[in-house]
């Protein structure tokens, strides 16, 4: 059997740790070979709060994925999120020698690498530098300046920073689980890759990924990412409201939300009642689905209003022809699309991660709750294609992952910015060393 490139995405979320093993099929679609999932007890609002519990969850998820895919996993692409994620816009420029004939990829690299030298607030570091547009000798609106003649090259960049301690904790968990981290990828970017079409990104779209502990936002216009944000609210806070409002256990509140929850109270029947088993020697508790919907609607209204306020703050609220795409586990809540449309006034759809998926033996992966995991695998392929490196594994024989070889000559860096380069169709490389 021929050798295949195998890529693994590891989503360390607030409610679950998910490992996905994928490869490209003969049609260029992503085929999921294995999936592992474990309850995440060491992560709060996207940030690692307990190293040991997170390591155990990672090991459990990876072992399940290994068994299903019949391979040994050594290298993973990891997502990062949390309230500590910040974004900013910055303009930079370089002056080239007059004798140089045309702008080269190395010139663009030099300008991009300069952005990583920006002074950031103490305790934070830059994880992504994404080009918006370039200016050559004061000629504006240039998407790709390579090959043009000019002396002064300027660029507008979207820069994303993360807390150094959060990055360090994730790296520590990956290392203690016996794995090597290839790339650290912002989770909203990964979700975008799996659920958004090129037409939507061109027209203007806001992706809203509602997870367990955070809600991630990414806004695209003209196929370029314009704004990113992470809100510290997600599905877990809805579950907590149900637990308190209905006076039930945490797991019962979660089941009520998943099985009977509605985002619009008017859609719930007043006559429907669900019976919850009582605690020891106590009678069962009866919960009105109408009251349950009122609790959920109140909190979801608050989350959606915060999302819309962030979209307005970005300045692109009136330029999103494709409206809003909601994904993540929270997107499965009934009537959520109608609630988002009512509050924002924008067309809304649920984003399923089947944009690039081929036939897979694991159909569950097509759920919105796995959008980030699928995106992390796709991001790994983007980077592999750009670097020209291979992680070779024979299927079905078990083999260890090999650390991808470093490019010996040519452009600087690789790694994460290569993924973004393919993502944004800009020929830019990162200055950071890749595995």
Q: What is the DSSP letter of 412?
A: S
Q: How confident is the model at residue 385 (pLDDT cuts 50, 70, 90)?
A: low
Spatial distance between the Cα atoms of 36 and 68, rounded to a whole number of angstroms: 8
Length of the chain, in residues: 435
Closest CA relative to residue 64, chosen from 116, 8, 14, 107: 8
Helix (H) or strand (E) holding 32: strand 30-39
Closest CA relative to residue 159, chosen from 91, 105, 219, 62: 91
CATH number of the structural domain 1-82+163-196+355-429: 3.30.420.40
With helix as H, strand as E and coil as C, how does 34-88 read?
EEEEEECCCEECCEECCHHHHHHHHHHHHHHHHHHHCCCCCEEEEEECCCCCEEE
Predicted pLDDT at 386: 60
Do 86-162 and 1-82+163-196+355-429 fall under one CATH topology? no
Average pLDDT of the segment spanning 353-358:
86
Tokens representing residue 190 in the block:
């990964």
Predicted pLDDT at 180: 94
Query: What pLDDT, in 10s, does the model give residues 24-72?
Result: 888 888 899 999 999 998 999 889 999 999 999 999 999 999 999 999 9
Predicted pLDDT at 174: 96
Spatial distance between the Cα atoms of 206 and 323, rounded to a whole number of angstroms: 6
pLDDT over 90 (residue 348)? yes
- Cis peptide leading into 276, omega within 30 of 0? no
Helix (H) or strand (E) holding 424: helix 415-424
Spatial distance between the Cα atoms of 159 and 136, rounded to a whole number of angstroms: 21
Average pLDDT of the chain is 86
What distances in angstroms separate CA 269 from CA 262, 288, 292, 427, one per listed residue?
Answer: 11, 9, 11, 55
Strand ranges inside 179-235, DSSP E: 180-186, 205-210, 215-221, 224-231
Closest CA relative to residue 435, chosen from 410, 394, 401: 401
Q: What is the DSSP letter of 158?
A: E
- Higher-pLDDT residue of 101 and 1 is 101
- Higher-pLDDT residue of 99 and 357 is 357
Predicted pLDDT at 97: 82
- Higher-pLDDT residue of 5 and 40 is 40
Backbone angles phi, psi at 311, to 5 degrees: -65, -45
Query: What pLDDT, in 10s, does the model give residues 95-139?
Result: 988 766 788 899 999 999 999 998 888 999 999 999 999 999 888
Q: How confident is the model at residue 266 (pLDDT cuts 50, 70, 90)?
A: very high
Closest CA relative to residue 215, chosen from 340, 123, 338, 99: 340
Average pLDDT of the segment spanning 158-185:
94
Predicted pLDDT at 278: 82
For 197-353, give the CATH class: alpha beta
Domain boundaries along the sequence of the chain: 1-82+163-196+355-429, 86-162, 197-353
Predicted pLDDT at 28: 82
Closest CA relative to residue 333, chosen from 217, 211, 227: 211
Q: How confident is the model at residue 230 (pLDDT cuts 50, 70, 90)?
A: very high
Contact 132, 141 (CB under 8 A): no
Give the CA angle between residues 355, 359, 364 to the nearest 5°: 75
* Strand partners for 79: 185
Tokens representing residue 266 in the block:
């008017």
Q: pTM for this structure?
A: 0.83
CB-based burial of residue 285 (10 Å sphere; 0-12 exposed, 13-18 middle, 19+ buried)?
Answer: middle
- Higher-pLDDT residue of 359 and 312 is 312
Predicted pLDDT at 101: 78
Closest CA relative to residue 148, chosen from 183, 96, 197: 96
pLDDT over 70 (residue 182)? yes
In this structure, which CATH number among 3.30.1490.110, 1.20.120.450, 2.30.42.10, 3.40.50.1110 belongs to the domain 86-162?
Answer: 3.30.1490.110
Query: What pLDDT, in 10s, does the model give residues 162-174?
Result: 999 999 999 999 9
Query: What pLDDT, in 10s, does the model give residues 391-434?
Result: 333 333 333 434 444 433 333 444 444 444 444 444 434 333 33
Contact 67, 145 (CB under 8 A): no
Q: What is the DSSP letter of 386?
A: H
Average pLDDT of the segment spanning 16-24:
93
pLDDT over 90 (residue 80)? yes
């Amino acid at each position: 059997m021929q050798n295949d490139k195998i890529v693994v995405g590891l989503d360390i979320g607030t409610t679950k740790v998910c490992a996905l093993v994928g490869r490209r099929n003969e049609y260029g679609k992503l085929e999921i070979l294995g999936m592992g999932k474990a309850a995440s007890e060491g992560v709060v609002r996207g940030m690692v709060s307990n190293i040991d519990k997170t390591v155990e969850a990672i090991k459990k998820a990876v072992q399940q994925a290994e068994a299903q895919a019949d391979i040994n996993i050594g290298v993973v692409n990891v997502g990062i999120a949390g309230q500590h994620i910040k974004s900013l816009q910055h303009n930079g420029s370089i002056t080239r020698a007059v004798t140089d004939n045309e702008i080269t990829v190395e010139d663009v690299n030099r300008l991009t690498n300069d952005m990583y030298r920006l002074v950031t607030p103490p305790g934070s570091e830059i994880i992504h530098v994404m080009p918006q547009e370039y200016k050559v000798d004061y000629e504006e609106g240039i998407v790709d300046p390579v090959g043009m003649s000019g002396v002064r090259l300027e660029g507008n960049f979207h820069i994303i920073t993360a807390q150094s301690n959060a990055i360090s904790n994730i790296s520590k968990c990956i290392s203690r689980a016996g794995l090597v981290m290839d790339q650290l990828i912002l989770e909203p970017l990964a979700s975008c890759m799996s659920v958004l079409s090129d037409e939507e990104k061109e027209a203007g779209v806001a992706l809203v990924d509602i997870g367990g502990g955070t809600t991630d936002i990414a806004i695209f216009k003209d196929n370029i990412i314009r704004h990113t944000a992470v809100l510290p609210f997600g599905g877990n806070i809805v579950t907590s409201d149900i637990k308190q409002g209905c006076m039930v256990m945490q797991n019962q509140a979660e089941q009520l939300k998943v099985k009977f929850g509605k985002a619009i109270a008017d859609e719930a029947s007043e006559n429907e009642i669900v019976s919850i088993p009582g605690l020891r020697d106590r009678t069962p508790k009866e919960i009105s689905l109408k009251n349950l919907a009122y609790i959920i609607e109140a909190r979801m209204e608050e989350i959606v209003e915060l999302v819309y306020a962030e979209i307005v703050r970005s300045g692109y609220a009136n330029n999103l022809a494709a409206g809003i795409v909601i994904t993540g586990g929270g997107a499965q809540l009934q009537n959520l699309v109608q609630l988002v449309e009512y509050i924002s006034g924008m067309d809304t759809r649920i984003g399923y991660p089947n944009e690039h998926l081929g036939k897979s033996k694991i159909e569950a992966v097509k759920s919105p709750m796995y959008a980030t995991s699928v995106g992390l695998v796709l991001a790994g392929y983007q980077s592999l294609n750009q670097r020209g490196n291979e992680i070779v594994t024979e299927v079905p024989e078990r083999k260890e992952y090999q650390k991808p070889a470093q490019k010996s000559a040519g452009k600087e860096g690789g790694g994460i910015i290569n993924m973004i380069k393919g993502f944004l169709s800009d020929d830019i490389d990162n200055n950071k060393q890749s595995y």
